[in-house]
Amino acid sequence: MKLYTIETGHFKLDGGAMFGVVPKTLWNKLNPADENNMISLAMRCLLIEDGNRLILIDNGIGSKQDAKFFSYYYLHGQATLDDSLKAAGFSKNDITDMVLTHLHFDHCGGSIEWNANRTAYRTAFQNATYWIGADHWNDAMKPNPREKASFLKENILPIEESGQLKLVKHGDCIYEHMELRFSNGHTQGMMHPLIHYKGYKILYLADMIPTQAHIPVPYVMGYDVRPLDTMSEKTAVLAEAAADDKMILFFEHDPLHEACKVEQTDKGIRRKTLVDIKDIS
């Protein structure tokens, strides 16, 4: 079994939206905003290689949208999904399992691509099973007004039409070294794979704790549909991680660092040590 960090590029979102009620005087020290109040964020994914299984968790924003759409998000950086997979020795056709934490466009946009003559959409991972939480799928089919703009039908419906979709719920097992956890604060039924790897437990946080700057419990995104639930979910996860030195938190959106351990301090739970997945032994 081997893990690879898959970088798919950076984008920008409004800093105030990313930190909710936290004043800019505080969050700007952690992730400085540009002249438009936008902050840089990664779209970082995780790849698991084990025998004949190649499991990818999330896939970034993709490349099929038009220039107007991408102009809202200031895509930057040199990394792409295809290049990162290639650097690891793989291609999209090698992926056997596509695990989607949730269906917001910056997490699942790479799921679907144009066909060769750009007349129709097709799944980008032709040989993969697409695993999505059942509760989240049902919610995305009838989105609430707060989230509707994040659920793009072209990212979602072709998965079902392809016949590659598999819905999962709490307690299901899709891979022997992975537990599936779920949260409801950011969006209904967001999935968090917990990967057992070389004696460690790596928790894929998705948007529960998108960056290291969001570790303090009150630092909750304005995008969350149930911010008080997010705070409760964060509190439980951070307490578990602080009590277990073998637990590593993986950040999908941190612009600089991919993972860390945490510890209890007199200011609450904070980062203990940075971790690079490739260095775990």
Alpha carbon separation from 264 to 27, 84, 269, 276 (Å, rounded)? 21, 35, 4, 21
What is the CA 90 to chain-centroid distance, rounded?
Answer: 20
DSSP 180-224: EEEE-SSSTTEEEEEEEETTEEEEE-TTSS-SGGG-STT---TT-
- Confidence (pLDDT) at 267: 94
* Run of H or E residues at 57: strand 53-57
What is the CA 168 to chain-centroid distance, rounded?
Answer: 17
- Confidence (pLDDT) at 161: 97
In angstroms, the CA 265 to CA 275 distance is 19
Q: Encoding tokens for residue 50?
A: 């084990």
Instruction: Give me the torsion for CA of 15, 20, 21, 27, rounded to 10°.
Output: -40
Residue 39's Cβ-side half-sphere holds a number of Cα atoms within 13 Å equal to: 23
| Count of CB atoms situated within 10 Å of the CB of 270 | 16
pLDDT tens digits, 81-126:
999 999 999 999 999 999 999 999 999 999 999 999 999 999 999 9
- Confidence (pLDDT) at 162: 97
DSSP 88-134: TT--GGG--EEEES--SHHHHGGGEEE-TTSSSEEES-TT-EEEEEH
* Run of H or E residues at 6: strand 2-14
- Confidence (pLDDT) at 89: 98
- b/e map of 254-266 (b: 16 or more CB within 10 Å)? bbeebbbbbeeee
- Confidence (pLDDT) at 73: 97
What does the domain layout of the chain look like in residue ranges?
Answer: 2-279
Task: Report the predicted TM-score, pTM, of the whole model to 2 decimal places.
Answer: 0.97
Strand partners, 182: 191
In angstroms, the CA 6 to CA 252 distance is 10
Strand 129-133 relative to strand 165-168, pairing = parallel
Q: Provide the CATH number for the domain formed by 2-279 in this structure.
A: 3.60.15.10
- For residue 229, give the nearest of 189, 264, 256, 281 by alpha carbon: 189
- Confidence (pLDDT) at 31: 97
| Count of CB atoms situated within 10 Å of the CB of 5 | 17
In angstroms, the CA 275 to CA 49 distance is 19
Alpha carbon separation from 93 to 97, 124, 129 (Å, rounded)? 11, 8, 12
| Residue 22 identity | V
| Per-residue tens of pLDDT for the chain, all 281 residues | 999 999 999 999 999 999 999 999 999 999 999 999 999 999 999 999 999 999 999 999 999 999 999 999 999 999 999 999 999 999 999 999 999 999 999 999 999 999 999 999 999 999 999 999 999 999 999 999 999 999 999 999 999 999 999 999 999 999 999 999 999 999 999 999 999 999 999 999 999 999 999 999 999 999 999 999 999 999 999 999 999 999 999 999 999 999 999 999 999 999 999 999 999 98
**Alpha carbon distance, N-terminus to C-terminus of the chain:** 12
